[in-house]
Amino acid sequence: MKKVFSSILVVLFFCNIVWAQENQPLKIFGSLSTDQRIITGKESEWAWNENRLSLKLEKKVNRGKLYGEIWVRNFGVPNFTNVEHLYNRGIVDPFDVQVREAYFQISDLFIPNLDLKIGRQRIAWGSADQMNPTDNLNPHDLEDILDFGRHRGSDAINLTYYIKNDFSIQAVFIPFFQPANLPVGVFADAIFPSFELPADTNVKINEIRTVIKKPALKFGTNSTVGFKFKAFVKTVDFSLSYVYGYDGLPFLTKKTVIPIDPIIYPWTWRIDVEAELSYVRQHILGLDFSTNIKGVGVWGEAALFMLGDDVRDSTIVNSILPLIPPEVTDSIVLNRKKPFLKFIIGADYHFGKSSYINVQYMHGFIHERGAKELSDYLFLRYDFRLLNDRLYLAPISGAVIISDWKEVKNNYALVYMPQISYYPIPEVELSLSYIWLNGKGEGLFSKIQDYDMFLIKAKFAF
């Protein structure tokens, strides 16, 4: 880790010399924050510990721009169980460094109004607030399931041509596939369903092994491309987009059941399960818009997902007797001939300078695929400011989720998240919020309803 910091300091030192000679200032800004979460209930548990230095660098010169963002974090709690772990600094003091973005931009490349960006970059598409069905170029960063809309940067070539001031055409090429990273901590099992046997069986699972079938690392086969046409007509911003790439979350496509010799476990029948997960190509057509109608901000997005191939789920049950062939069943989970649509529509309004309301309705969350699996989400937030904007209160903040309208009482979730923030100085925010969850069924927020928690955060921006 010392070598990492030494390298960063050396690079910054020499860069400063060069930039000083050019008499061009280097902007260094960012934030230092802490995020602590405590689960309430019978047994209080520390659910989250994150201390983050977000360091951003920006340098502009002539027609060029250099930008980077690095996260330096103490993340997680010490997880030591034996003496050997005490010798491992990464266990007793969890620490990581992430390069979130690092790219350079050239304006008027070859011809006027043609901009080029090369490097790791966050390419955000969509007009909705945080949750964007059309935002599919960068992989989702699901580490914190409560941080909606977070993505990682992608190594990309990004060309944008501006036609006058109201129209633009964008083309993006991402050479390498990057999967979404999954939630950690108490939310680790929120996305994927657990593999369970029927309740009336005597079979016990001894071990579950997972194998990921990832895309071949070949030019073209492993790549993602995207195109977007953006326009501003009268008072409406809108864009049409297309993405051809992989779904960042894998599908469970094959399960192999391997019985264990009953001589080893003579009183129970035990099995091992090998689960294969695969990534699937998809075409995504997107449309989004935003406008203002008499002071009310209005926006919407829709994305049509079309799979490149059928998603199949095969189950292979091996016999305990070597001469008996395995039993194989196969079914189609998603049919490529049946595209599905995710969309969101929302509005917000400022009541003078002190209060604000935001409402959004969304059909289909990040991990939901297929028309039958898409849930409905209604998000509502109302906040206001006092004491010359130093005190911020959000007494109404939450969501209502319905997974199955035919049987609502067993397929719903309620989320309530009030918040209070105080700004002792403009650069510092101190906040306290609480998450209350309740629901039934297999929906995302129903699964985590046992984790009501306090969130204590502090942030210094510089």
| Residue-level pLDDT at 13 | 40
258 half-sphere exposure, CB direction, 13 A CA radius:
9
Residue 453: Cβ within 10 Å count: 24
Q: Which helix (H) or strand (E) holds 383?
A: strand 376-386
Tell me the C-alpha to C-alpha distance, in Å, between residue 16 and each of 25, 26, 101, 285, 310.
9, 7, 20, 44, 54
Q: Going from the first residue of the chain to its last (462 residues), give the mean pLDDT of each consecutive group of 10, the final group possibly shorter.
A: 43 44 79 96 83 97 96 89 84 91 97 97 97 97 93 98 94 96 86 62 80 88 96 96 97 90 65 92 98 97 96 89 85 94 98 94 96 96 96 98 95 97 98 96 87 96 98
| Residue-level pLDDT at 426 | 96
| Residue-level pLDDT at 352 | 87
What pLDDT digit, counting tens, does each position of 407-460 carry?
999 999 999 999 999 999 999 999 999 999 999 998 888 888 889 999 999 999
3-class state of residue 337 by DSSP:
coil
| Residue-level pLDDT at 59 | 96
Q: Structure tokens of 58?
A: 């920006």
| Residue-level pLDDT at 339 | 97
406 within 8 A of 375, measured Cβ to Cβ: no
Question: How far apart are the C-alpha atoms of 151 and 50, rounded to whole Å?
Answer: 18
The full set of domain ranges for the chain reads 111-117+128-343, 375-462
Contacts of 293 (CB under 8 A, 6+ apart): none
What pLDDT digit, counting tens, does each position of 174-220 carry?
999 999 999 988 888 888 766 665 555 567 788 889 999 999 888 88
| Residue-level pLDDT at 195 | 62
Distance from the first to the final alpha carbon of the chain = 25
- What residue has token string 């992608």? 154
- What residue has token string 């001469």? 323
